[in-house]
Amino acid sequence: MRKNKVGAQQLDFSIMTLDDDPIMTATLQAYFTTSGYMVDVETDPYRGIERMRDRHYDILLLDFLMSPIMGDRVINEVRTFDKEIYIILLTGHKSMAPPVRALRELDIQGYYEKNERFDQLELLVESCVKSIRQMRIIKAYRDDLDEKNKQLEKMYASLGDSYVDVIKTLRLVVDARDLYTRGHSDRVSHYALRIARAMGREEGFCERVRIAGLFHDVGKVAVPDSILLKPGKLNSAEYEIIMMHPEKGYQILSAISAFDDIAEIVLEHHERYDGSGYPRGIAGEDTREEARIISVADAFDAMTSNRLYRDNLTFDYALNQLVTGRGGQFDPEAVDAFLGVLKEYDTLKQEVAWTFGQQTEEQMP
């Protein structure tokens, strides 16, 4: 008998020997148990299949010539539920063995012509053990990686959740700081959503418009009170600081990948259709349509809500400004859609009557 060369942990490897000759199974069991394997025996092919269905063995030593079913049938059956088991087919002497061509078609890892010496068979079993061991290492590594990925995903998700909470808070901070524009982002979000719907845009687009509307001025959190709340006209240095809010908003929002699209829209909400806007001065269709829609809604709310620096402009004035800016400051299609929506301004006003105080969680993204 060959000395055990594969290492001391053969007990970790289980063998099923299935042969209708009980002397053969007993001999194999004695041989491989001595080599340190865990060996079970079975002489009935059907019972053998059931036992392999009940528990997984690493290696099957399978007799070819059996009754009532032959080894090839057993292989096909076992492969329906166990693709991993290593199968070594034991054939009788040459005249009784299936042709090599037929053996090739079987899903087995090796075959052995029965003879007095088992060392050849043991070599075959050892090479199976080596590859099973490698497969186990790979599997353990993969499982470990899966587990780590899962933990990482969970971490990202919870980080993402708490960051979204921070952004929501920032938005409320911005809205709460300025008494005269309170509820501005809610109204802009609502107007913009109505425009997008009137333009017949798909749901995903409308949802982006709604969320970007809510957060479009979140970058104003970086503007000091002395400028944001200044009652008089802003000087150019102060105005420049205000003009940084789309980029600040972009930075805040793009830190979270789920907000990438929203961040882009927020960045462009002060661009103008004719290219005279900021921060990049891009024109027409080069900006995102969602941003062009928000720009119309934003301008309208700025004109119609009470502002410190502008006395309660009338609805007619605002309407007139939209028409004047159509194709200049504003995307004409978005203006046309909004003019349609504004025909029911009274309804619209009621819709936006929910102010920051009455805002519910569903209205948040």
Q: How far is the CB of 150 from Fe ion (least distance, A)?
A: 40
Rg, the chain, Cα only: 38
- Within residues 199-258, the interface with Fe ion by CB under 5 A covers 217
Q: How far is the CB of 256 from Fe ion (least distance, A)?
A: 20
Among 298, 331, 333, 336, binds Fe ion (CB under 5 A): 298
Q: How far is the CB of 143 from Fe ion (least distance, A)?
A: 50
Q: How far is the CB of 181 from Fe ion (least distance, A)?
A: 8
For residue 40, the cross-strand partners are 16
Report the alpha-carbon distance of residue 234 to residue 241 in Å, rounded.
10
Q: Which stretch binds Fe ion (CB under 5 A): 228-236, 255-263, 290-298, 335-343?
A: 290-298
Which alpha helices (H) appear in 180-307, and where do they start and end? 184-198, 203-215, 225-228, 236-242, 245-254, 260-267, 289-304
Q: How far is the CB of 232 from Fe ion (least distance, A)?
A: 20
Residue 132 CA: distances (Å) to CA of 48, 58, 63: 21, 8, 21
x/- site string to Fe ion, residues 122 to 161, per CB under 5 A? ----------------------------------------
- Strands (E) across the chain are located at 14-18, 38-42, 59-63, 86-91, 110-113
Which is nearer to Fe ion, 217 or 331 (by Cβ)? 217
Q: Which stretch binds Fe ion (CB under 5 A): 5-13, 39-47, 282-290, 292-300?
A: 292-300
3-class SS shares of the chain: helix, strand, coil, % to 5: 60, 10, 30
Q: Which of 150, 220, 230, 349 is catalytic?
A: 220
Question: DSSP string of 212-229?
Answer: HHHHTTGGGGGS-HHHHT
Which is nearer to Fe ion, 114 or 269 (by Cβ)? 269
Interface size with Fe ion, residues (CB under 5 A): 2
Q: Quick check: is 130 catalytic? A: no
Q: Which stretch binds Fe ion (CB under 5 A): 58-66, 83-91, 114-122, 298-306?
A: 298-306
Distance, CA of 40 to chain centre: 45
Binding site for Fe ion (CB under 5 A): 217, 298
Task: Cite the active site residues.
Answer: 220
